[in-house]
Amino acid sequence: MAISIPILFESADILAVCKPEGLTSIPGSEKGKDTLVEMLSKQYDQKLFVVHRLDKDVSGVMLFARNAAAHKCLNDQFAAHTVKKTYLALVHGCPEPTQGVINKPIHKFGSGRMGVDQLRGKPSKTEYEVVEAFGKFSLVKAQPLTGRTHQIRVHFYSIGHPIAGDRLYGDKASQAACPRLMLHAQSIAFKLTSGEEKTVEAPLPETFTAVMESLRG
C-alpha cells in the first residue's frame, strides 16, 4: 500500500513535508527500499535536492529544495546554524533542571552508534524544556543548536533520560514496549529565497498522540 506523504508547504523553490516514522529519508545502506526523497521525486516528476535528514524512526517536518539556487540558499542557512529546529520528545523520567542546555561533545562509535566523548567528540548543544509530566515520563521540547547525528537521542540518554521507544539508546526491554521512537520534528524556521522568514509546523501523528493518551489514562 502506498504511503501518503502530507505536504506542509510548497513553492517553486522549496517543498516541506511531514515524514512518517519508519520511512528512510534518503538512500543509504537499506538497498531496494523506498525512501522519502525518491517517493517525492516521482510524485513531483522532478529532482529534489536534499538539505537535511531525519532518522528513519523519527517523524516530522523535512525540507527539500526544488532547484539549485534554493539548495544553496538552504545549505548556507544550515551551515550558518540559522535554521531553528524544534522537536518534541517523550523521555523516561523528568530531567532536572526542567529547563536547560545539554552541552556534551558527540563522537561516532562502531555500528553507527553515537555517544558522548569528551576527548574525541564534536561540540554539541541541545536546549530543552519540560512541557508536561506523565508519571514516569515527560514530554520535552528540544532545540538542537548543532546538527550531529542522533544528537537529541544521545544527549537525553547521556543525562539518564532516554527517549521512549529508542531501540538504540536505553534499556532494550523497556524501550521495546513502546510502539515507536517518541521523537517528532515539530517545526522548522528558515528564510525563503526571497529573504522572507518562514516557519513550517508538523502536527503530532496519531502514533505519537496515542501513546501520550494511554499514559494520561
pLDDT tens column, 4-42? 799 999 999 999 999 999 999 988 756 657 899 999 999
Is residue 141 in a domain?
Answer: yes
What is the set of active-site residues?
55
Is residue 70 in a domain?
Answer: yes
Tell me which residue range forms the domain holding 55.
Answer: 7-216
Closest CA to 92 of 139, 35, 56, 41: 139
Is residue 170 in a domain?
Answer: yes
Is residue 131 in a domain?
Answer: yes
pLDDT exceeds cutoff 90 at 176 = no
Is residue 17 in a domain?
Answer: yes
pLDDT in tens, 38-79: 999 999 999 999 999 999 999 999 999 999 999 999 999 999
User: For the chain, how many structural domains are there in total?
Assistant: 1
First to last CA, the chain: 33
At 194, which CATH number? 3.30.2350.10
* DSSP E strand boundaries for the chain: 7-10, 14-19, 49-50, 59-65, 84-92, 99-103, 106-108, 114-116, 125-134, 137-144, 183-191, 197-201
Is residue 175 in a domain?
Answer: yes
Is residue 101 in a domain?
Answer: yes
